[in-house]
Amino acid sequence: MSNYKDKYEMVIGLEVHAQLKTNTKIFAREGCEFGKSPNTETSTVTLGMPGVLPVLNKECVNMAILTGLALNSTIPNRCKFDRKQYFYPDLPKGYQISQYDEPICQGGWIQISNKKIGITRAHLEEDAGKLVHAGAAGLYGSSYSLVDLNRAGTPLLEIVSEPDMRSSEEAREYVETLRNILRYIGVCDGNLEEGSMRADCNISIRPIGQKEFGTRAEIKNVNSFRSLVRAIEYEFIRQAEILEDGGKVIQETRLWDDTSGTTSSMRGKEDAHDYRYFPEPDLMPLEISREWIEEIKSKMPELPNEKMERYQKAGLSEYDASVIVNQMELALYFDKLLEKNVDAKTASNFLTGEIAAYLKEEKISIEDSKLTVDNFAQLLDLLKKGTISNNIAKSLVVEILKTGEDAKTLVDKKGLSVISDESSILPIVQKIIKDNPEQVAAYKGGKDKLFGFFVGQIMKETKGRANPQLLNKLLKDELDK
């Protein structure tokens, strides 16, 4: 069976909910840390008691503005909040405070490798609580559900993209790029598995060449990059099969199931009027002055694409720069190294080579390793000065990652520094020549390649410590005698 890709094209737009890293909730004063004991972070505002009033957390606004600036959005000087009516057991108020027609960020774009993806808008809203579906037999049947309202009122920024993506790979790259930006500007920790970043995926298909979009399905419950790609590929085939059978795709919300690798219908898609949006009467429209925006702009940290450029200017290949930038902890570490004036290219070779391999194997981050910036810089300095060879530096870096021992002390203790005095190397050169008369004869007979053989023998004898330039010179002189 063909996979339909020569006949249909997919169209994808994403709605990403990013949980803002504030200390307190968006309209209430209690904390919103993950993993607290159920219903301990619940004020009267969160519980939706009658007569209580929401108070907007300014830090949420600061973070939304910072995000908007990073996503090339316009921050209008006025936005407002609206009520979106739902009935959910984990939403005691019976409505969610969100932003409807006047969001805090309008328009924008982010760059992925082959194109720009448009951002439609980004708006602030509150999260709902959590239902815990208990397995044990309950009063009314085989199971029951419990409500935990700790998460209710957690600040979210919903970032809506234009339907600009045409493949699961583009969708993946978009979410990765967005996640990186949010992490670098410090507004969201981007943890898909823990749900601090959630992507709802809208996908439709159309015959190749057709201009109009097809009817979309919205897929929820996608909580890893792998499942995002799988869900899109599954949904593409499901929709293509419907069209091939002469059917029509219906607009609905579908749930991704990671175990079976399929999506299933959850509910028909509501239209905006089903929510009965109206302006939130308990909150004033929000006025954002140019000065406020300028103040936030002045605090904008370096963005991932700017870091990429700077690293490439410092001598890294595009690939190496991206490996470092895509792991924020590594990049922040690398920046501290660069402040110590190490050679960027050499440092990155170690970081993306031996160090990355070690961290991956131990499943730890660079900060959890014992390799401090100062110690690593010292090691690189010993290498730069020619005190130790490249191979020795490589084995030492792994040792230091484990033990945290001081580079210089280790080199002295183990006697690993390069041997650069003639009186130590010459006798070894002479010994190797004496021990290998056949090879010497062959070399003199024109087999130049054997030079490498002698170098290898001498290096073996000195445990890789002979200064290569000096060794080459002495060996040549002796062989030419």
Binding region for ligand ADP (CB under 6 A): 11-15, 160-163, 202-204, 213, 216
Residues, the chain: 481
Using an 8 Å Cβ cutoff, are 253 and 27 in contact? Answer: no
User: Which residue's CB is nearer to ligand ADP, number 202 or number 223?
Assistant: 202
> What is the Cβ-side half-sphere exposure of residue 168, based on CA atoms within 13 angstroms?
16
User: Which residue's CB is nearer to Mg ion, number 15 or number 343?
Assistant: 15
Q: How far apart are CA 57 and CA 26, in angstroms?
A: 5
Choose the contact partner of 11 out of ligand ADP, Mg ion, none; CB within 5 to 8 A by kind. ligand ADP
- Nearest C-alpha neighbor of 400 from the set 331, 337, 392, 345: 392
Q: Are strands 286-287 and 78-79 parallel, antiparallel or unpaired?
A: antiparallel
CB of 365 to ligand ADP, least distance (A): 33
Q: How far apart are CA 208 and CA 215, in angstroms?
A: 15
User: Which residue's CB is nearer to ligand ADP, number 274 or number 374?
Assistant: 274
User: Which residue's CB is nearer to ligand ADP, number 270 or number 367?
Assistant: 270
Q: How far apart are CA 433 and CA 340, in angstroms?
A: 44
Measure CA 302 to chain center: 15
The token pair at 418 is 């390069």
Choose the contact partner of 13 out of Mg ion, ligand ADP, none; CB within 5 to 8 A by kind. ligand ADP
* Per-residue contact flags (x/-) with Mg ion for residues 7 to 26, judged by CB under 5 A: --------x-----------
> What is the Cβ-side half-sphere exposure of residue 244, based on CA atoms within 13 angstroms?
13
Q: How far apart are CA 81 and CA 437, in angstroms?
A: 89
CA dihedral over 231, 233, 236, 242, signed as positive or negative:
negative
User: Which residue's CB is nearer to ligand ADP, number 12 or number 64?
Assistant: 12
Residue closest to Mg ion when measured from CB atoms = 15
CB of 230 to ligand ADP, least distance (A): 18
The token pair at 270 is 């509501």
User: Which residue's CB is nearer to ligand ADP, number 204 or number 352?
Assistant: 204
**Distance linking the first and last C-alpha atoms of the chain:** 74
CB of 205 to ligand ADP, least distance (A): 8
User: Which residue's CB is nearer to Mg ion, number 14 or number 337?
Assistant: 14
CB of 215 to ligand ADP, least distance (A): 7
CB of 15 to Mg ion, least distance (A): 5
User: Which residue's CB is nearer to Mg ion, number 201 or number 231?
Assistant: 201
Give me the phi and psi of 227, to 5 degrees please: -70, -30
Residue closest to ligand ADP when measured from CB atoms = 13
Q: How far apart are CA 277 and CA 95, in angstroms?
A: 9
CB of 120 to ligand ADP, least distance (A): 6
The one-letter amino acid code at 259 reads T
CB of 336 to ligand ADP, least distance (A): 38
CB of 302 to ligand ADP, least distance (A): 28
User: Which residue's CB is nearer to Mg ion, number 15 or number 405?
Assistant: 15
Q: How far apart are CA 462 and CA 465, in angstroms?
A: 5
Choose the contact partner of 14 out of ligand ADP, Mg ion, none; CB within 5 to 8 A by kind. ligand ADP
Choose the contact partner of 213 out of ligand ADP, Mg ion, none; CB within 5 to 8 A by kind. ligand ADP
Query: What secondary structure does DSSP assign to 256-284, as a single string?
Result: EETTTTEEEEEEEPPPGGGGT-EE-TTSP
CB of 163 to ligand ADP, least distance (A): 4
Question: How many residues of this chain interact with Mg ion, rule: CB under 5 A?
Answer: 1
Residues that bind Mg ion (CB under 5 A): 15
